[in-house]
Amino acid sequence: MNLVVTGSRDWPEDEPDMIFLVLDRVFWGNHREEPYHVHVGYDPKHRRPSGVDRIVYEKMKWVNEPRSFVPVKLHTYPADWDRYGKKAGVIRNAEMLRTAESGLVVAFHASPDHYLDLNRKAQGKDGPSGTNHCARLAERMRTFEVVDLIRNPRG
């Protein structure tokens, strides 16, 4: 099974609980002999980006240890910002989905505004967030089940 995880860089790294809960439900709710293939847009060499991608990468490194009961193969997809500029994230997202071909996409949005792409033009940003782009692209491919999850900020 392929699991593509996409999420906001703005997700606080000291709030991994929702991410861990969802990943645990996916893995423990679907015990398998064959490995899960987890695809995440993270660059382990440069340790970026922050947020969801880093949280998932660190969790999957731990899950992938030999003593783990869940077989996982972790696939990372660094964005090539030097080569592609602002389009690097979009290109990376498409590559993750093309490689995975089918499966489950879990999109972690840092806030309702991120999910709805509100105020992006006011912030000087073009198009949807990277998280929203990846989730909507997966829906258009029609070979993925897409789950959108929105962080409920404390307070």
Q: 34: domain CATH number?
A: 3.40.50
C-alpha to C-alpha distance for 71 and 63, rounded to whole angstroms:
8
Which amino acid is present at 106?
A: V
Residue 82 located in a structural domain:
yes
Residue 64 located in a structural domain:
yes
Residue 95 located in a structural domain:
yes
**What range defines the domain where residue 85 resides?**
2-150
Residue 155 located in a structural domain:
no
C-alpha to C-alpha distance for 16 and 32, rounded to whole angstroms:
25
Query: What element of type H or E holds 74?
Result: strand 72-76
Residue 30 located in a structural domain:
yes
> What is the count of structural domains for the chain?
1
Residue 136 located in a structural domain:
yes
Residue 93 located in a structural domain:
yes
Task: Look at residue 155 in the predicted model and tell me its pLDDT.
Answer: 42
Q: Is the dihedral of CA 127, 40, 13, 109 positive or negative?
A: positive
Is the pLDDT at 87 greater than 80, yes or no?
Answer: yes
For residue range 99-155, list pLDDT tens digits in order: 999 999 999 987 666 666 655 554 545 455 888 889 999 999 999 999 988 876 654
Per the listing, tokens 């993270």 go with 42
Task: Look at residue 148 in the predicted model and tell me its pLDDT.
Answer: 87
Q: Per-residue pLDDT averaged across 70-74, rounded? A: 82
